Amino acid sequence: MERLAVTHDHTSGSDDPSMTPVGAPRLIVLSGPSGVGKDSVIETIRARAPWVWLSVSVTTRPIRDYEVDGVHYYFVDRAEFERRAAAGELLEWAEFAGNLYGTPREPVRARLAAGQPALLKIDLQGARQVRQALPEARLVFLAPPSWEELKRRLVGRGTDDEETVRQRLAHAQEELAAEPEFDVTIVNHTVEQAAAELVGLLSPQATHR
Protein backbone atom coordinates (compact mmCIF):
# COMPACT_ATOMS: atom_id res chain seq x y z
CA MET A 1 0.00 0.00 0.00
CA GLU A 2 1.30 3.42 -0.96
CA ARG A 3 0.94 6.13 1.66
CA LEU A 4 0.99 9.77 0.57
CA ALA A 5 1.67 12.11 3.44
CA VAL A 6 2.77 15.37 1.86
CA THR A 7 2.69 18.08 4.50
CA HIS A 8 3.07 21.24 2.43
CA ASP A 9 0.14 23.15 0.93
CA HIS A 10 -0.50 23.05 -2.81
CA THR A 11 -1.96 26.51 -3.47
CA SER A 12 -0.77 27.44 -6.94
CA GLY A 13 -4.29 27.52 -8.37
CA SER A 14 -5.31 26.06 -11.74
CA ASP A 15 -1.70 26.17 -12.99
CA ASP A 16 -0.75 23.41 -10.59
CA PRO A 17 0.34 20.50 -12.86
CA SER A 18 -1.24 18.01 -10.45
CA MET A 19 -4.62 19.50 -11.42
CA THR A 20 -4.08 18.87 -15.15
CA PRO A 21 -5.29 15.64 -16.86
CA VAL A 22 -2.54 13.37 -18.23
CA GLY A 23 -2.80 10.05 -20.05
CA ALA A 24 -5.50 7.40 -20.05
CA PRO A 25 -8.59 7.44 -17.81
CA ARG A 26 -8.59 6.03 -14.32
CA LEU A 27 -11.24 5.08 -11.83
CA ILE A 28 -10.48 6.31 -8.33
CA VAL A 29 -12.60 5.36 -5.33
CA LEU A 30 -12.31 7.69 -2.35
CA SER A 31 -13.31 6.54 1.11
CA GLY A 32 -12.34 7.16 4.70
CA PRO A 33 -13.74 7.65 8.18
CA SER A 34 -16.52 10.10 8.94
CA GLY A 35 -15.17 13.53 9.82
CA VAL A 36 -11.94 13.17 7.86
CA GLY A 37 -12.89 15.86 5.32
CA LYS A 38 -13.95 13.93 2.21
CA ASP A 39 -16.63 16.45 1.22
CA SER A 40 -14.24 19.39 1.58
CA VAL A 41 -11.68 17.66 -0.62
CA ILE A 42 -14.31 16.90 -3.26
CA GLU A 43 -15.56 20.49 -3.32
CA THR A 44 -11.98 21.73 -3.81
CA ILE A 45 -11.56 19.36 -6.74
CA ARG A 46 -14.85 20.58 -8.26
CA ALA A 47 -13.52 24.14 -8.16
CA ARG A 48 -9.93 23.55 -9.27
CA ALA A 49 -10.13 20.51 -11.55
CA PRO A 50 -13.47 20.60 -13.43
CA TRP A 51 -12.23 17.92 -15.83
CA VAL A 52 -12.61 15.38 -13.00
CA TRP A 53 -15.99 13.68 -13.24
CA LEU A 54 -17.65 12.79 -9.94
CA SER A 55 -20.23 10.03 -9.97
CA VAL A 56 -23.73 10.99 -8.79
CA SER A 57 -25.29 8.42 -6.49
CA VAL A 58 -28.90 7.26 -6.47
CA THR A 59 -30.78 7.27 -3.16
CA THR A 60 -34.14 6.70 -1.57
CA ARG A 61 -33.49 9.52 0.89
CA PRO A 62 -35.94 12.45 0.67
CA ILE A 63 -34.60 15.41 -1.26
CA ARG A 64 -33.54 18.44 0.80
CA ASP A 65 -34.47 22.03 0.01
CA TYR A 66 -31.09 23.00 -1.45
CA GLU A 67 -30.59 19.81 -3.48
CA VAL A 68 -31.07 19.33 -7.22
CA ASP A 69 -32.10 15.96 -8.63
CA GLY A 70 -29.34 14.67 -10.89
CA VAL A 71 -26.72 17.00 -9.39
CA HIS A 72 -26.48 16.03 -5.73
CA TYR A 73 -28.25 12.67 -6.07
CA TYR A 74 -30.73 10.86 -8.25
CA PHE A 75 -33.78 10.59 -6.01
CA VAL A 76 -35.95 7.47 -6.43
CA ASP A 77 -38.38 5.47 -4.33
CA ARG A 78 -37.42 2.16 -2.74
CA ALA A 79 -39.15 0.04 -5.39
CA GLU A 80 -37.22 1.72 -8.20
CA PHE A 81 -33.95 1.41 -6.29
CA GLU A 82 -34.51 -2.28 -5.65
CA ARG A 83 -35.38 -2.79 -9.33
CA ARG A 84 -32.09 -1.20 -10.37
CA ALA A 85 -30.14 -3.27 -7.86
CA ALA A 86 -31.78 -6.51 -8.98
CA ALA A 87 -31.10 -5.66 -12.64
CA GLY A 88 -27.40 -5.15 -11.96
CA GLU A 89 -27.59 -1.45 -12.77
CA LEU A 90 -25.72 -0.44 -9.62
CA LEU A 91 -21.97 -0.80 -9.26
CA GLU A 92 -22.36 -0.83 -5.49
CA TRP A 93 -25.08 -0.10 -2.97
CA ALA A 94 -25.71 -0.06 0.75
CA GLU A 95 -28.33 0.91 3.31
CA PHE A 96 -27.63 3.61 5.87
CA ALA A 97 -30.04 5.02 8.46
CA GLY A 98 -32.99 3.41 6.70
CA ASN A 99 -32.16 4.83 3.27
CA LEU A 100 -30.58 3.12 0.27
CA TYR A 101 -27.59 4.59 -1.57
CA GLY A 102 -25.88 3.29 -4.69
CA THR A 103 -23.62 4.12 -7.64
CA PRO A 104 -25.18 3.78 -11.12
CA ARG A 105 -22.98 1.46 -13.17
CA GLU A 106 -23.58 2.77 -16.71
CA PRO A 107 -22.43 6.40 -16.24
CA VAL A 108 -19.14 5.17 -14.79
CA ARG A 109 -18.63 2.68 -17.64
CA ALA A 110 -19.51 5.29 -20.26
CA ARG A 111 -17.18 7.87 -18.75
CA LEU A 112 -14.21 5.52 -18.75
CA ALA A 113 -15.04 4.26 -22.25
CA ALA A 114 -15.02 7.88 -23.45
CA GLY A 115 -11.50 8.29 -22.15
CA GLN A 116 -12.38 10.43 -19.15
CA PRO A 117 -11.27 9.86 -15.54
CA ALA A 118 -13.90 9.12 -12.92
CA LEU A 119 -14.00 9.66 -9.18
CA LEU A 120 -16.32 7.90 -6.74
CA LYS A 121 -16.81 9.04 -3.13
CA ILE A 122 -18.42 6.18 -1.24
CA ASP A 123 -18.33 4.45 2.13
CA LEU A 124 -16.19 1.50 3.12
CA GLN A 125 -18.84 -1.08 2.25
CA GLY A 126 -19.27 0.42 -1.22
CA ALA A 127 -15.52 0.53 -1.80
CA ARG A 128 -15.30 -3.17 -1.08
CA GLN A 129 -18.05 -3.88 -3.60
CA VAL A 130 -16.30 -1.81 -6.27
CA ARG A 131 -13.10 -3.76 -5.62
CA GLN A 132 -14.97 -6.96 -6.45
CA ALA A 133 -16.76 -5.58 -9.52
CA LEU A 134 -13.86 -3.56 -10.98
CA PRO A 135 -10.51 -4.87 -9.71
CA GLU A 136 -8.69 -2.28 -11.81
CA ALA A 137 -10.14 0.55 -9.73
CA ARG A 138 -7.70 2.27 -7.41
CA LEU A 139 -8.98 2.55 -3.84
CA VAL A 140 -7.83 5.64 -1.95
CA PHE A 141 -8.17 6.02 1.80
CA LEU A 142 -8.35 9.57 3.15
CA ALA A 143 -6.80 9.53 6.62
CA PRO A 144 -6.64 12.16 9.37
CA PRO A 145 -3.27 13.54 10.51
CA SER A 146 -3.86 11.82 13.85
CA TRP A 147 -6.51 10.06 15.88
CA GLU A 148 -6.69 13.04 18.19
CA GLU A 149 -7.52 15.37 15.29
CA LEU A 150 -10.25 13.06 14.00
CA LYS A 151 -11.63 12.70 17.52
CA ARG A 152 -11.74 16.48 17.84
CA ARG A 153 -13.75 16.78 14.62
CA LEU A 154 -16.16 13.99 15.54
CA VAL A 155 -16.82 15.19 19.06
CA GLY A 156 -17.45 18.69 17.71
CA ARG A 157 -18.76 21.29 20.10
CA GLY A 158 -19.88 18.85 22.74
CA THR A 159 -23.58 19.06 21.89
CA ASP A 160 -24.04 15.27 21.55
CA ASP A 161 -24.73 13.00 24.50
CA GLU A 162 -22.03 10.67 25.78
CA GLU A 163 -23.47 7.54 24.14
CA THR A 164 -23.72 9.17 20.70
CA VAL A 165 -20.11 10.31 20.95
CA ARG A 166 -19.01 6.84 22.05
CA GLN A 167 -20.74 5.19 19.08
CA ARG A 168 -19.33 7.74 16.67
CA LEU A 169 -15.77 7.19 17.89
CA ALA A 170 -16.13 3.41 17.88
CA HIS A 171 -17.35 3.51 14.27
CA ALA A 172 -14.43 5.74 13.28
CA GLN A 173 -11.96 3.27 14.79
CA GLU A 174 -13.52 0.47 12.74
CA GLU A 175 -13.20 2.56 9.58
CA LEU A 176 -9.56 3.41 10.33
CA ALA A 177 -8.80 -0.28 10.81
CA ALA A 178 -9.78 -0.90 7.17
CA GLU A 179 -6.96 1.28 5.80
CA PRO A 180 -4.76 -1.72 4.78
CA GLU A 181 -7.48 -2.79 2.32
CA PHE A 182 -6.80 0.31 0.21
CA ASP A 183 -4.16 0.85 -2.47
CA VAL A 184 -3.17 4.35 -1.42
CA THR A 185 -3.54 6.48 1.69
CA ILE A 186 -3.66 10.26 1.49
CA VAL A 187 -3.20 12.00 4.82
CA ASN A 188 -5.42 15.07 4.95
CA HIS A 189 -3.03 17.62 6.45
CA THR A 190 -4.70 20.39 4.41
CA VAL A 191 -7.65 20.28 2.02
CA GLU A 192 -5.61 21.79 -0.84
CA GLN A 193 -2.81 19.26 -0.41
CA ALA A 194 -5.16 16.28 -0.21
CA ALA A 195 -7.14 17.43 -3.28
CA ALA A 196 -3.96 17.84 -5.33
CA GLU A 197 -2.72 14.39 -4.29
CA LEU A 198 -6.05 12.83 -5.22
CA VAL A 199 -6.25 14.51 -8.62
CA GLY A 200 -2.70 13.41 -9.36
CA LEU A 201 -3.72 9.79 -8.84
CA LEU A 202 -6.28 10.02 -11.66
CA SER A 203 -3.42 9.80 -14.16
CA PRO A 204 -1.75 6.44 -14.82
CA GLN A 205 1.52 8.37 -15.04
CA ALA A 206 1.16 9.46 -11.41
CA THR A 207 4.47 8.92 -9.69
CA HIS A 208 4.99 7.23 -6.35
CA ARG A 209 6.25 9.63 -3.70
* pLDDT tens string 169-200: 888 899 999 999 999 999 999 999 999 999 99
H/E element holding 185? Answer: strand 184-187
Task: Give the residue-averaged pLDDT of 139-148.
Answer: 96
- pTM of the full predicted structure? 0.79
Query: How far is residue 70's CA from residue 19's CA, in Å, rounded to a whole number?
Result: 25
Angle between helices 162-177 and 147-155 (to 10 degrees): 140
Range of weakest confidence among 108-112, 176-180, 202-206:
202-206
Cα 208 to Cα 194: distance, rounded to the nearest angstrom: 15
Architecture of domain 54-116: 2-Layer Sandwich (3.30)
Residues of the chain with CATH 3.30.63.10: 54-116
Q: Regarding predicted confidence, which is higher, 154 or 208?
A: 154
CATH of 1-52+117-209, one of 3.20.20.70, 3.40.50.850, 3.30.360.10, 3.40.50.300: 3.40.50.300
